[in-house]
Amino acid sequence: MNYTGEDGIEHAAVFIGGLEECKYVMDVLGAAEVPNQLDVAERAGEQFASRGYYLVSVAADAATHARDVIEKQLREDLQIHPGDESQIAEERCPACGTLLVPGCASCQECGLMFE
């Protein structure tokens, strides 16, 4: 999901969820030297207002690379900590099929919310 940040630059939200999960995603992106920033989730849409969620964003033109970096890390995490079948089934967005970061509150691609 793309949105215009306070800096007037187009951002792409690559993760939406709780603060701890956001910090993890920021660490992953930082380790791959992908510039990123934390923002409140309602920046990406009013449906996120008053829910206490945050988002991690990158410059819109870096979004594809950032998502690749996150997805690669997720696959490594899953190999170290294999989940059961039900968890594996929940990894992908039921609407658009995007691989999801565990703990995310919303699909970073299409904005579908999970509760």
Q: Which residue has the tokens 């930082």?
A: 30
Give whichever of 35 and 94 is closer to Zn ion, judged by the CB atom. Answer: 94
Give residues with Cβ within 8 angstroms of 96, minimum separation 6. Answer: 107, 109, 110, 112
Binding stretches for Zn ion (CB under 5 A) = 93, 95-96, 98, 107, 109-110, 112
Residue 93 beta carbon to Zn ion: minimum distance, rounded to whole angstroms: 3
Q: Is residue 12 within 8 Å of residue 102, measured between CB atoms?
A: no
